[in-house]
Amino acid sequence: MHLSDVARGASNVIMAVAICAAAAKPASATLYAWTLSGSGDVGSGFLTTAAADNGGFDIMSLSGQINDVAITGLLGGQPGGGYAFSPTGAFYYDNILYPSANSAEGALLDLGGILLSVAGGEANIWGTSAAPDGYSYYTYEAGRYVIQDNATTFRVMDPASPVPEPASAAIVMLGIVGLWLTRARLEAPGSVR
């Protein structure tokens, strides 16, 4: 193997590592575990957030169940610029979480809260005060409100590992393939050793 082949191989490895390091950026979503409890109400699951410019974090997705009823999704996305009304008009929401900087109500959720899709209709969890049980949970099914609990406790756990971005994972894989190809070329028959 010639010294020039070693130098070329080393420079390719350094370039691949540099590209991977430069292209990799922190994940933009954060995963939280959440729980809800009240008189007769029990729920848990996961939600993801992304940075927002409103003092809180936009809730991007939500999963889990409440009272053994599966949450089929987050409704409405992020309306921006304040509250929006749910598809039925039963609730207003903003889908914002305040994990470190409390909302105006002193809670993790403000008066808009989270709009959920559940079997049979819509549901809304919102913050009413800074008290531990300062949350309300209502559903709207078959054209009527069902007050599930006006003194609910809603908690989010410390963020779990960041959700990786698919693009970052692809770049790392490209770097690994580049390293493998460089090594294969250096070990190919006919190369001078």
Per residue in 134-184, pLDDT tens?
999 999 988 888 877 888 899 998 765 555 556 666 677 777 877 777 777
Among 131, 122, 134, residue whose Cα is nearest residue 92: 122
Asked if the structure places residue 110 within a domain, the reply is yes
Strand partners, 62: 47
- Cα–Cα distance measured from residue 71 to residue 120, given in angstroms and rounded to the nearest whole number: 11
Asked if 105 and 36 sit in the same domain, the reply is yes
Count how many domains the chain has. 2
Asked if 77 and 97 sit in the same domain, the reply is yes
Asked if 124 and 48 sit in the same domain, the reply is yes
Position with higher pLDDT, 123 vs 4 = 123
Residues of the chain with pLDDT > 90: what percent? 35
Lowest-confidence pick of 20-34, 70-84, 114-128: 20-34
Asked if 15 and 64 sit in the same domain, the reply is no
Give residue 36's pLDDT band: very low, low, confident or very high (50, 70, 90).
very high
- Cα–Cα distance measured from residue 116 to residue 153, given in angstroms and rounded to the nearest whole number: 17
- Tell me which residue range forms the domain holding 124: 31-156
The pLDDT score that the predictor gives to residue 23 is: 46
> Strands, DSSP E only, in the chain?
29-37, 42-51, 57-66, 69-74, 84-85, 92-93, 96-97, 114-118, 121-127, 135-141, 144-156
Asked if 47 and 85 sit in the same domain, the reply is yes
Asked if 66 and 135 sit in the same domain, the reply is yes
Asked if 133 and 112 sit in the same domain, the reply is yes
- Token pair of 34 as six digits: 């959440």
Question: What is the pTM assigned to this prediction?
Answer: 0.66
Average confidence (pLDDT) over 101-111: 82
Asked if the structure places residue 191 within a domain, the reply is no
Asked if the structure places residue 192 within a domain, the reply is no
Position with higher pLDDT, 173 vs 13 = 173
Position with higher pLDDT, 139 vs 55 = 139
Asked if 133 and 180 sit in the same domain, the reply is no
Asked if 17 and 107 sit in the same domain, the reply is no
User: At residue 191, does pLDDT exceed 70?
Assistant: no
